[in-house]
Each structure stands twice: as C-alpha cells, then as structure tokens.
Amino acid sequence: MSFHYRWFSHDEELMDALGNRRSRAVLDRAVPPRSGYTRGEVVSMVFAVLVLGYGIAVFVVPFVMFGAAFLLYEMHRLLPLALGPAGVPLARGVRAFSLVTLFGAVLLLFF
C-alpha cells in the first residue's frame, strides 16, 4: 500500500483492470455526489430561523435581513431540483441576492 492523502486508501481501488494507476479525477468522479443537507447546515438553518423570528419580534432590521439572507442562500440548492434546468440561472441569482443582502445586513448593523 502506498501513501496517499486520503485515509484508508487501498491499492486495488487505485488500479484499473489492466493494472494502470487511476488518476485522482477518475476516483473522485466515481464517488457519488452527496445529496441533502449535512447536520451542520440543518442546525445553521434552524439558527437562522430563530434569528429571523427574533428580528421580526423586536423589529431589528439587520437580524431580519441576516436570517432571510441565510435562508435564501440555502434555498438556492433546492431551485434546480424543483424547477429543473430553468432553476439553475434562477439559483445563481438567488445566491447572488442573498450574498448582497448579507453584506447589507452587516452594513446596517454597524450604522
């Protein structure tokens, strides 16, 4: 077994049927893409909903903008799944809008 930057790598998965070494790109392409949200992302979305609710309850505009911006950013991953190919450019626009809203919330917080 040779040294690789991945833990627990085995030589048999690094070679193809003819004994040639596979490239890292081929190995990474063979790994299926992850679907869904990780536990940390779900916890951060719950925290964003709490911040959004608190901002609405006490009417603090930067908190409302921060919570809305983060929830919009997490929503951009769902748009291509829901709308198909038409959702990809819309998802990019939602992601850009959420980043601008987050920047505006930080500016409002300090002014």
CA distance 26 to 37: 25
pLDDT in tens, 42-80: 999 999 999 999 999 999 999 999 999 999 999 998 899
pLDDT at 2: 53
- CA 60/CA 75 separation, integer angstroms: 23
pLDDT, residue 63, reads 93
